[in-house]
Amino acid sequence: MAILSDHDIKKYLKKGLIIIDPLEDPERQIQPSSVDLRIGNEFKGFKIIRKPCIDPQEPGDIESYMESYHIKDGESFIIHPGEFALATTYEYIGLPDNLVARVEGRSSIGRLGITMHVTAGYIDPGFHGRITLEISNIGKMPVALYPKQRVCQIVFETMTSPAEKPYGHPERESKYMGQLKPETSKIKEDYELRRLRTKKGG
């Protein structure tokens, strides 16, 4: 696998093989081997609830554990130490079936104690949608995040060959294909948990 340079990123964008929409300031956003992405206006955070744990097998909707927030341009979302929130990139991303991508937090954000992804940094070939950001504050001070602020960067890597069944393929469980807002975990749809529920029901 090889990482695309700025030259190749521009070439893929021009050919429509990579989609970044909108890419409003390519001269500033396109870096030597990545593209800076901005945070959107939609956030989700966990409510304080009186439950011992989140159990994916428990009846009920994980969505009910979270609150949604729409932050207007110019206003801020405050993430406090120890808190976790979901957001998405402002940009809509599309990948061909022969590229994978990784999302990394920008160093300037990391130095404030903010991580931009926990385990969702890998983007499958064929994915289309806004990228979920799993945000944590591991620092000592609350930090303000502003819509359309550059918070992360996306790196593109070529594969040895195109994927036979890319993300979004009818035979794949592509639970987050086409997402536009922060999506809570759809872990209940994982085949092994569905099978476990079937056994319990039997």
Whether 167 has a binding-site annotation, put simply, is yes
Whether 153 has a binding-site annotation, put simply, is yes
Any catalytic annotation for residue 134? yes
Whether 109 has a binding-site annotation, put simply, is yes
CB contact set of 134 (below 8 Å; sequence gap of 6+): 84, 86, 115, 116, 117, 118, 119, 120
Whether 172 has a binding-site annotation, put simply, is no
Whether 86 has a binding-site annotation, put simply, is no
CB contact set of 53 (below 8 Å; sequence gap of 6+): none
The active-site residue, picked from 134, 157, 171, 173, is 134
Q: What angle do CA 121, 29, 118 make, to 5 degrees?
A: 15
Whether 124 has a binding-site annotation, put simply, is yes
CB atoms within 10 A of CB 68: 13
The alpha carbons of the chain give a radius of gyration, in whole angstroms, of 18
**β partners of residue 150:** 38
Whether 111 has a binding-site annotation, put simply, is yes
- Cite the annotated binding site for dCTP by residue number: 106-111, 124, 132-134, 153, 167, 175, 179
Catalytic center residues? 134
- Cite the annotated binding site by residue number: 106-111, 124, 132-134, 153, 167, 175, 179
